[in-house]
Structure 1
Amino acid sequence: MKVTVVRSGGFAGIEQRAECDSARDPMLVRLVDRVDLGTVPPPGRIPDQFLYEIDIDGDRTTVGEAQLNGPLRELVHHVLGHAR
């Protein structure tokens, strides 16, 4: 399983991209199992907020920083923390 996270927006508009693969990161499976992308609310219209595009094996969603919480936040921070 591959998870890709792209963070964009913010005041400076700098993009950060990271990808993790469960073949090399066994914790990734446990984090993904706790996430349901179908229940993620759309990003609110907040100026200069970060937007996170999340792709889990082709299942994609975009979430705003204000809506990023719980297991989804843990997943995003895990993937971005292991950026290559």
Structure 2
Amino acid sequence: MVRSGGFAGIEQRGQSDSATDPMLARLVDRVDLAMVPPPGRIPDQFLYDIDIDGASTTVGEAQLHGPLRELVHHVLGQGR
């Protein structure tokens, strides 16, 4: 997962493995990347490039809701 954009344009990366992270496995089961709408054109928003087992999409900050939001915060929070 890569977060980019925002006002400062600072990139943040995170990675985790659902085989060793039960919370991640539960979140991944609740997310369908095919159903995520494309990011809107909002100035200075964060964009998230998400790859789950070869399925990938780019999500705008405004589209982060429910399990997808939890997934992003869980994975990016691992590096802190």
Both structures adopt the same fold (TM-score exceeding 0.5) = yes
Matching residue within 57, 68, 72 for 1:72: 68
Identity %: 82
Q: Deviations over 1:16-63 (max 9, x none)?
A: 000001232121110000001010000000000000000001100001
Q: 1:64, 1:22 → 2: CA distance?
A: 23
Quick check: 1:38 aligned with 2:34?
yes
Structure 1 unaligned blocks of 5 or more? none
Which residue of the partner structure matches residue 25 of structure 1?
21
Q: 1:83, 1:19 → 2: CA distance?
A: 8
Q: Deviations over 1:54-74 (max 9, x none)?
A: 000110000100111111000
| Secondary structure of the corresponding residue to residue 21 of structure 1 | coil
Count of matched residue positions in the alignment of Structure 1 and Structure 2: 80
Structure 2 unaligned blocks of 5 or more? none
Q: 1:37, 1:62 → 2: CA distance?
A: 9
Quick check: 1:10 aligned with 2:39?
no
Quick check: 1:81 aligned with 2:60?
no
Greater fraction of residues in strand? 1
